[in-house]
Structure 1
Amino acid sequence: MTYTVSEIAKALGAEAFGDTDLVIARAAEPQDAGPDDLALAMDPKYADGLSKGRAQIAMLWPDADWQALGLKAAIFPSRPRYAMAGLTRILDKGQGFAPGIHPTAVIDDAAQLGANVSVGPLAIISAGARIGAGSVIGPHCFVGVDTTIGENAFLREQVSIAARVTIGANFIAQPGARIGGDGFSFVTAEQSAVENVRTTLGDQGGAKAQPWTRIHSVGAVTIGDDVEIGMGCTIDNGTIRDTRIGDGTKFDNQVQLGHNVIIGRNCLLCGQAGVAGSSVVGDNVVLGGQSGVSDNITIGDGVIAGGGTKLMSNVPAGRTMLGYPATQMDRQVESYKAMRRLPHLLRDVADLKKAVSKSIKGD
């Protein structure tokens, strides 16, 4: 599908100049753009890229001189990066999943499908499952017993959702997401060395070696509206109560949530972030890639944790954290700078020791 410059500008609430009847087939980076492409040059640093490509149309930064850049038309959004969300939505060709119910899909007679639900090849929908209107269940997906999924859900290929999970509207799950596995929860008949270490922070005491006994997960998972789960994410059931994810929260790939975790609204959990069992993460929290949250702690609203940060104790609302163990980001950066200066400092100390030693011998 193609669009004119004026159609795209109108859809984005942006201004357009030049020949607004020109047709756009796709978006491209400036240096790769051809005559039918919309070059995305929304910062002055991309101006050189325009001269290397063959773009006639571009989305530009505010006050850019589009004619001097050799363009025939230009689009000027008020917030360029936000306009990317609308533009990519317009140009997204989707995954090509066929509408309707594929003949190889297995749908239990006791499942309930809303209007215009599509189910792909070899998908399985179990007894008592309820799928909201307009949802797409992709190829090889599994939906468990008594699970509820709201309207307009989009499950990409090979998504697995276990029994009794509850999911709100507009849910997106990328390929290979796994929701509702048993929690990693085990106990010993007598007090274990692990329990002793948690208390003493080192001494294992006289605990003997014992086999581990599973604590079953009788809770499930509850997910709010407008949530997106990335590829390869794994979310454990709660032990007694449900593991919970609030409205508007987005997970990158390979995020892990342990049992009983609560994630607030509008959070971002980046690639390979992990939250251990029974921790509570507030609203509008950002966990950078490979960051980790220890078990049984609380992360306040609005906390931002940089990549690789390990949060090992409660964090008050609004803090910006970095490092292992985590400290406030500005302090962590200063500590890192100081650590890099240590070799020089040690050499200076060694030189001073030599000078003092010579001075004493000279006396």
Structure 2
Amino acid sequence: MSYTIQAIADAVGATAAGDTALIVTGAAEPASAGPDDIALAMKPDFAKGLPEGRARAAMLWEDADWQSMGLSAAILVKRPRVAMAGLTRMMDTGQGYGRGIHPTAMIEPSATIGTDVTVGPMAYIGPGAKIGDNCVIGPQCYIGTDAEIGTDGTLHSGVRLMARVKIGARFIAQPGAVVGSDGHSFVTAEVSTVEQARASLGGDVTAEGQSWIRIHSLGAVIVGDDVELGANSCIDSGTIRPTEVGNGCKIDNLCHVAHNVKIGRDCLFAALVGVAGSTVIGNNVILGGQVGVTDNTTVGDNVVAGGGTKILNKIPAGRVILGYPGVKMDTHLETYKLQRRLPRLFEQVAALQKAVFKSDQND
């Protein structure tokens, strides 16, 4: 595929300059860009790599002096990453799943398939399932009994939508994602060591008759519109009521949302986030990589948790947190600075103790 500089500028809402009819066929970093690539140099530091490549056109920051860089054309953008979103959308050729229903796909007679749906090799669509118009069901996907997915969804290879889950429009699931797996919900006939530990918050525990009995998941999962789920991420079914994920949420690879969790709209979770059962996450919450959230708590709207944070208690709206346990980010950073000074402080205290001891001996 090929694109003129003007066409790209129009698509991303930017300004084209120079030879706007120049044609490019791909995008590349400045140092590795060829003559048919548009170089992505949207910061001055990135533009330093242009002389190492052979790009004739580049996407640059808004007031860049593109002519001094020896370019024939340029696209000048206000918001670089927003422009990159538009550019990559234009140039994404997809996974090559093809169109139509593959002869090896198995679709139960009671399933409802919308118009212009693609179903890849070895995919299975169960009884009573409903697939919206323009969906792409990749190879080896599984869609369970009475599951539903809205229009324009894309399930990449190996995705599993289990029984009775309800998925909104424009859903994207990366390879290996699972929605509607059973929750990790178990009980013991006798009081378990977990219950003992919660009651005492310390001390010894005993395990008498600690054999685990499953509590079955009846609640399934409800996912809103415009949600993306990363590779090998899992959303567990609720126990009685559904687990819920709001509109516009973007969940990265290897994340886990446990049973009965309720997530608001437009949240962003980085890789390896884990949210324990029955927790409520507000709107526009951002959780960095490896953030863990305890069960049965709440995280308010617009909270930002830095990577590795462990949330063990209720977090009010708008707070920026970091650490284990998660506290205000500025508090954590100041505490960290003080911790780094502890060895020197101990040396100073030891020296003072030694000086006082000698002073006492002299007296």
Please, what TM-score do these two structures have when normalized by structure 1? 0.98
Aligned pairs (5 A) from 1:3-18: 3-18=3-18
Aligned residue for 1:81?
81
Q: Distance in 2 between matches of 1:255 and 1:209?
A: 33
CA shift, 1:193, in A, is 2.4
User: Please, which moves more after superposition, 133-142 or 72-81?
Assistant: 72-81
Question: Across the two proteins, how many residue pairs are aligned to each other?
Answer: 363
Alignment-mate amino acid for residue 45 of structure 1: D
Alpha carbons 1:183, 1:238 under 8 Å: kept: yes
CA distance in 2, matches of 1:208, 1:101: 55
Aligned equivalent of 2:36: 36
* CA–CA separation in structure 2 for the residues paired with 1:118 and 1:71: 42
Question: What does residue range 1-150 of structure 1 map to in structure 2 within 5 Å?
Answer: 1-150=1-150
- Work out whether residues 194 and 204 of structure 1, in 8 Å CA contact, stay in contact via their aligned partners in 2: no
- Give the AA of the match of 1:87: L
How far apart, CA to CA, are the structure 2 residues paired with 1:152 and 1:59?
Answer: 30
State the Cα deviation string for residues 208-254 of structure 1 (Å, max 9, x = none): 23211111111100000000000000111000000000000000000
Q: Tell me which residue corresponds to 2:154.
A: 154
SS in 1 for 2:66: coil
| Aligned ranges 1:1-363 → 2 under 5 Å | 1-203=1-203, 208-363=208-363
TM-fit CA distance, 1:79: 1.2
Q: Deviations over 1:180-224 (max 9, x none)?
A: 111111111232221121122124566623211111111100000
3-state DSSP of counterpart to 2:10 = helix
Alpha carbons 2:31, 2:51 under 8 Å: kept: yes
- Report the CA distance between 1:350 and its aligned residue: 1.0
Q: Is the 8 A contact 1:117 1:134 kept in 2?
A: yes
Give the stretch that moved more between structures: 238-247 or 56-65.
56-65
Q: What per-residue deviation string (whole Å, max 9, x for no partner) do you get for residues 322-355 of structure 1? A: 1111111100011111001100111111111112
Name the CA distance, whole Å, in 2 between partners of 1:60 and 1:232: 36
Q: Match for 2:92: what amino acid?
A: D
Query: Is the Cα–Cα contact under 8 Å of residues 26 and 36 in structure 1 kept in the other structure?
Result: yes
Deviates further, 198-207 or 36-45? 198-207
- Structure 2 Cα separation of the partners of residues 207 and 91 of structure 1: 59
SS in 2 for 1:74: strand
- Contact 2:136/2:152, CA 8 A, preserved across alignment: yes
1:267: Cα distance to partner? 0.2
Q: How far 1:63 moved relative to its partner?
A: 1.3
Structure 1's 207 and 37: CA in aligned 2 closer, same or farther, altered over 3 A? closer
Q: Which moved more, 1:281-290 or 1:351-360?
A: 351-360
* Superposition deviation, residue 292 in structure 1: 0.3
Question: Where do 5+ consecutive residues of structure 1 fail to align?
Answer: none
CA contact (8 A) 2:42 2:59 kept: yes
What is the percent sequence identity of the aligned residues? 58
Q: 1:359 to 1:204 in 2, by over 3 A?
A: closer
Q: Distance in 2 between matches of 1:82 and 1:66?
A: 20
Distance (whole Å) between structure 2 residues aligned to residue 240 and residue 84 of structure 1 = 42
The one-letter amino acid paired with 1:350 is A
Contact 2:189 2:209 in 1 (8 A): no
* Distance in structure 2 (CA, Å) of the matches to 1:119 and 1:26: 29
* Superposed displacement of residue 316, structure 1: 0.6
2:354 counterpart SS class: helix
RMSD: 1.0
Superposed displacement of residue 22, structure 1: 0.6
Letter in 2 for 1:274: G
Three-state SS of the structure 2 residue aligned to 1:353 is helix
Q: Secondary structure at the match of 1:67?
A: helix
Q: Distance in 2 between matches of 1:353 and 1:108?
A: 81
Q: Distance in 2 between matches of 1:165 and 1:342?
A: 53
Unpaired runs of 5+ in structure 2?
Answer: none
Write out per-residue CA displacement over residues 32-56 of structure 1, whole angstroms, 9 at most, x where no aligned residue.
1111110000001112101111111
Give the deviation of 1:11 after TM superposition.
1.1
Q: What CA distance in whole angstroms lies between the structure 1 residues aligned with 2:350 and 2:206?
A: 46
CA contact (8 A) 1:193 1:204 kept: no
